[in-house]
Every structure is written in structure tokens, then in C-alpha cells.
């Protein structure tokens, strides 16, 4: 009974922490929207509107009310899924985000999968070959990927692999010839083209996502490999590893069956943060590759002074950070039974 009570209290604390975090995120988002040197009324009616039109629009937007009243309405609207109306598209921001967010998820998911499949093994191998030439190469590659501006790598990649060699598709998610012939059932272009059975469209979608996906994959790989290496170096210095080696365990068993499972909890945290960073960091990548996702939507909205769209997109990114962090905490007891009693 005590264990169930403890689990219930832990769950309640977790939800309370999540609620407080989201409330703080809403407050920060609201304050940012109010301190930005952009007048949402001017963005809605134009700078040539008459004073009467300006006053009516200000009243319609609720900006004539006290700040605390505006914040209360903002929270109520967000709770109901109402993020306001975009002055750029003249549609509800929630509808716009629902339309563009799958493109960001598709690109970021490909990037994090590449980062996990390559970054974790490279980090483990670099720790195993610490201070030797394989370790030096992996550390150099990781440092280059983590410190080089994403937009610069994107432009260089387009110049070489698209303009010069023609190995990858150009900007966008798919060739124009297939753009309106595919039923966007899930919003994930690779999945939808595969579901349609149009193999030419599927190859086109793959060719367009390959370059930006590899670019984001390289960015996440660099971060995951560097952090995994650090965790493994610390773990390989512990006594149980020395004991396993003395008992005749192979180096592969020491690395993959003994040491790696014991660092999965921090590695999962790193992967969750890397995925959240990709969801946020696709702003520059999507701009370079004209990828119609959340990042490009926020960028275009910012240039057009469309603050409801900017705030809505920012809020979605923040919620992704919070939820991914919470999911990683839920996975801890499944990956490491020692954390269940904490």
C-alpha cells in the first residue's frame, strides 16, 4: 500500500511540476509578446489606418484592457486551443501550426534517428579508444559539427550536392510535379508518398529530405557522441568494469552489456534534449532549404510582424521541450531499476 501511495504522490508531484512549468512558459511567452517593439494593431490594420480604425482594432484585440486581464484571456484561449489569428494567413494560428508542424517533426525525427544510430556507437568507441587516434578523429568531427553554423553547412550542402552534383533534391519537400497529387494523410511526406504507392513521388520526397536530414543528423550526432563519450569514460573507470575484465569478459561485453546500460539514463536525457533542440533549431535549416515547417512559419511571421503566429510557434516549441523532458523522466525507471526507489 505504501508503494502505491508513494507512486501516487510522485505522479501528483510530477503533474504539479508540469503544470507550473507550462504556466511559467505561458507567462514568459506572453511577456515577450508585450515587450517586443512591434505593435500588433499596426500589423493587423496597417500603418495608414485612421485613428478610429486603429482604436477599434485595439479594442477588438483586447489590448485596451489591463495587462493582467489580457494574460487571463491569453491563458483561457491557450487552454481552449485558441492561439489567436494570424494576420499573415488570416487563419487561426492553431490551424497553421497543425499544418506545418508535421514537416518539422518529420525532418527532426530523421535527424535524431541518425544522431542516435551513429552518435551512441561513436561515443562508446571513442571512450574505449580514449586519447588514441580514433578518439581524436571522433572528437574533432564532433567539435566541428557542434560548432559550425547550421545555415552555413546548409548553403554549402546545397551548392555542392544540389547545384553542382545534382545528388539531392532542391528546396522544398517534394518536386512540384507531385505536390498536389499526394494525399497528405499524416503530414509526413515520406510516409504519405509511400502510402500512395507512387514510387517516383516517394523517391522525390527522399531526395528532398536527405540533405537537410543528414545535416541535422550530423548536428545531433556531434552532441550525442560527445556526451556519450564522457559518460562512458567515467563508467569505464569504475571497479565493476575492472572486475569484469579480470574475470575474462570480452571488451565488447564490457562496453555493451555492462557499461552502456548503466549510462542509459543520462544518454536518454541527452537524446531528449537533442531532439528538442532539433525541433527548435530547424528555424535556420528550414529557412535555408525552404522547408515548409514550423521554423519557416515562425521566421516568415516574425518578418511580417505577425506576433500571434510567432508566440504560438514559440509556445509549441517550449511545450515540446517540457514534454520531451518529462518523457525522458518516465523512461528512467524502465531503463534503470535503481531509479525506481528514488
Judged against a pLDDT cut of 80, whether residue 282 lies above it is answered with no
Judged against a pLDDT cut of 90, whether residue 121 lies above it is answered with yes
CA dist 202 and 254 (Å) reads 42
Please tell me the predicted confidence (pLDDT) of residue 14: 62
Say whether both 156 and 59 belong to one domain.
no
When divided into structural domains, the chain yields a total of: 2
Q: State the average pLDDT for the chain.
A: 82
Say whether both 8 and 112 belong to one domain.
no
| Domain interval for residue 317 | 101-341
Say whether both 68 and 162 belong to one domain.
no
- Of 79, 113, 148, the residue that ends a domain is 79
> Quick one: cell of 321?
521541450
Say whether both 187 and 292 belong to one domain.
yes
Pick from 154, 188, 110, 145: which is nearest to 286 by CA? Answer: 154
Could you tell me the pLDDT band of residue 107, with boundaries at 50, 70 and 90?
very high
Please tell me the predicted confidence (pLDDT) of residue 211: 92
Question: Which residues have a Cβ under 8 Å from the Cβ of 289 and sit 6 or more positions away?
Answer: 154, 158, 171, 172, 211, 212
pLDDT tens-digit profile of 24-49?
Answer: 777 777 777 677 667 777 766 777 77
Average pLDDT over residues 113-120: 94
Question: Do the domain assignments include residue 59?
Answer: yes
Average pLDDT over residues 95-122: 92
Residue 337 CB coordination number (10 Å): 9
Look up the CATH number of the domain holding residue 225.
1.10.3720.10
Question: Do the domain assignments include residue 88?
Answer: no
Winning range, highest mean pLDDT, from 9-13, 50-54, 104-108, 178-182 = 104-108
- Of 79, 110, 141, the residue that ends a domain is 79
Question: Do the domain assignments include residue 95?
Answer: no
- Cβ atoms 278, 10 nearer than 8 A: no
Say whether both 191 and 309 belong to one domain.
yes
Please tell me the predicted confidence (pLDDT) of residue 233: 92
Say whether both 213 and 167 belong to one domain.
yes
Please tell me the predicted confidence (pLDDT) of residue 118: 93
pLDDT tens-digit profile of 87-104?
Answer: 778 788 889 999 999 999
Average pLDDT over residues 152-175: 86
Average pLDDT over residues 182-211: 88
Please tell me the predicted confidence (pLDDT) of residue 4: 47
Say whether both 191 and 272 belong to one domain.
yes
- Of 47, 79, 111, the residue that ends a domain is 79
Say whether both 199 and 111 belong to one domain.
yes
Say whether both 185 and 275 belong to one domain.
yes
- Crossing angle of helices 294-303 and 307-335, rounded to 10°: 150
CA dist 11 and 26 (Å) reads 22
Say whether both 172 and 272 belong to one domain.
yes
Question: Do the domain assignments include residue 111?
Answer: yes
Winning range, highest mean pLDDT, from 17-21, 236-240, 303-307 = 236-240
User: Rg of the Cα trace of the chain?
Assistant: 24
Question: Do the domain assignments include residue 84?
Answer: no
Question: Do the domain assignments include residue 92?
Answer: no
Question: Do the domain assignments include residue 39?
Answer: yes
User: If you search the block for the grid coordinates 569514460, which residue do you land on?
Assistant: 233
Question: Do the domain assignments include residue 85?
Answer: no
Please tell me the predicted confidence (pLDDT) of residue 137: 92
Judged against a pLDDT cut of 80, whether residue 199 lies above it is answered with yes
Judged against a pLDDT cut of 80, whether residue 341 lies above it is answered with no
Say whether both 30 and 117 belong to one domain.
no
Say whether both 115 and 37 belong to one domain.
no
Burial 122-137 (b: 16+ CB within 10 A, else e): bbbbbbbeeeeeebee
Average pLDDT over residues 135-157: 85
Please tell me the predicted confidence (pLDDT) of residue 124: 93
Judged against a pLDDT cut of 60, whether residue 337 lies above it is answered with no
Amino acid at each position: 500500500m505504501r508503494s502505491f501511495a508513494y507512486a501516487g504522490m510522485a505522479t501528483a508531484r510530477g503533474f504539479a511540476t508540469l503544470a507550473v512549468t507550462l504556466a511559467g512558459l505561458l507567462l514568459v511567452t506572453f511577456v515577450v509578446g508585450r515587450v517586443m517593439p512591434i505593435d500588433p494593431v499596426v500589423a493587423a490594420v496597417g500603418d495608414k489606418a485612421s485613428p478610429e480604425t486603429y482604436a477599434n482594432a485595439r479594442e477588438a484585440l483586447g489590448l485596451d484592457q489591463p495587462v493582467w486581464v489580457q494574460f487571463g484571456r491569453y491563458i483561457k484561449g491557450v487552454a481552449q486551443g485558441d492561439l489567436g489569428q494570424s494576420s499573415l494567413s488570416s487563419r487561426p494560428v492553431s490551424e497553421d501550426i497543425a499544418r506545418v508542424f508535421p514537416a518539422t517533426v518529420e525532418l527532426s525525427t530523421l535527424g535524431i534517428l541518425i544522431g542516435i544510430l551513429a552518435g551512441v556507437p561513436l561515443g562508446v568507441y571513442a571512450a574505449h579508444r580514449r586519447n588514441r587516434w580514433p578518439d581524436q578523429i571522433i572528437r574533432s568531427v564532433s567539435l566541428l559539427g557542434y560548432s559550425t553554423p547550421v545555415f552555413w553547412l546548409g548553403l554549402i550542402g546545397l551548392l555542392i550536392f544540389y547545384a553542382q552534383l545534382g545528388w539531392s533534391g532542391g528546396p522544398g519537400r517534394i518536386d512540384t510535379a507531385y505536390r498536389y497529387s499526394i494525399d497528405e494523410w499524416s503530414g509526413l511526406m515520406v510516409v504519405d508518398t509511400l502510402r500512395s504507392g507512387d514510387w517516383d513521388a516517394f523517391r522525390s520526397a527522399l531526395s528532398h529530405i536527405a540533405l537537410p536530414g543528414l545535416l541535422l543528423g550530423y548536428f545531433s550526432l556531434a552532441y550525442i557522441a560527445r556526451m556519450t563519450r564522457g559518460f562512458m569514460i567515467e563508467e569505464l573507470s569504475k571497479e565493476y568494469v575492472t572486475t569484469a575484465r579480470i574475470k575474462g569478459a570480452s571488451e565488447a561485453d564490457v562496453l555493451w552489456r555492462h557499461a552502456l546500460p548503466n549510462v542509459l539514463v543520462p544518454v536518454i536525457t541527452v537524446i531528449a534534449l537533442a531532439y528538442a533542440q532539433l525541433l527548435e533549431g530547424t528555424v535556420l535549416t528550414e529557412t535555408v532549404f525552404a522547408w515548409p515547417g514550423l521554423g519557416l512559419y515562425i521566421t516568415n511571421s516574425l518578418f511580417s510582424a505577425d506576433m500571434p503566429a510567432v508566440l504560438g510557434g514559440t509556445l509549441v516549441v517550449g511545450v515540446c521541450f517540457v514534454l520531451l523532458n518529462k518523457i525522458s523522466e518516465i523512461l528512467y525507471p524502465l531503463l534503470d531499476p535503481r531509479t525506481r526507489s528514488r
